[in-house]
Amino acid sequence: MELKKIASFEVDHNTLERGIYTSRIDGDIVTYDIRLKKPNGGDYLKNGAMHTAEHIIATYVRNSEHSDKIIYFGPMGCRTGFYLLVRDLDPTAVIELLKNAFKFLRDFEGEIPGVSAVECGNYLEHDLETAKMEAENYLPCIENWTVENLKY
């Protein structure tokens, strides 16, 4: 089988900056690239912080007013951000949802959702304080983000 290059590998990661981008559109499903770190910048999300952010933000978006439009929220293997997949959700609403989700993470107190051995396959690798710090550092980047900024 010949492997064709996938769309995300067509993006020049050497020029990509932090932010929120429309990665791809497949019918009524839109994949958003939520880039917390500059690619190839030498500063990457720590596994524990990324894991905790994923648990908290995935739970937040699936409990939001848009819960029926959320398909998936999860980490990028390169540890520079996350993907959010939604169905039939206005891009302006996506931006606001992400701003609110990262504010929720920044201010989160209490037990991390889904953190037991029964609920999580790597329940010991979490870092709430670093996840909150990453959210704090990311929020100014997306504070004034608009639909026009969603283009790579």
E strand or H helix at 51, and its extent? helix 47-62
CA atoms within 13 A on the CB side of 135: 25
Mean pLDDT of the chain: 97
Q: Is the pTM of this model over 0.85?
A: yes
Instruction: Answer yes or no: is pLDDT of 8 > 90.
Output: no
- Answer yes or no: are the C-beta atoms of 89 and 66 closer than 8 Å: yes
Closest CA to 30 of 64, 73, 75: 73
| CA dist., res. 14 & res. 74, Å (int) | 22
Instruction: Answer yes or no: is pLDDT of 7 > 90.
Output: no
Query: pLDDT at position 10, please?
Result: 87
Q: What is the pLDDT of residues 72-129, one digit of tens each?
A: 999 999 999 999 999 999 999 999 999 999 999 999 999 999 999 999 999 999 999 9
Query: pLDDT at position 82, please?
Result: 98
Instruction: Give φ, ψ of 144 to 5 degrees.
Output: -110, 25
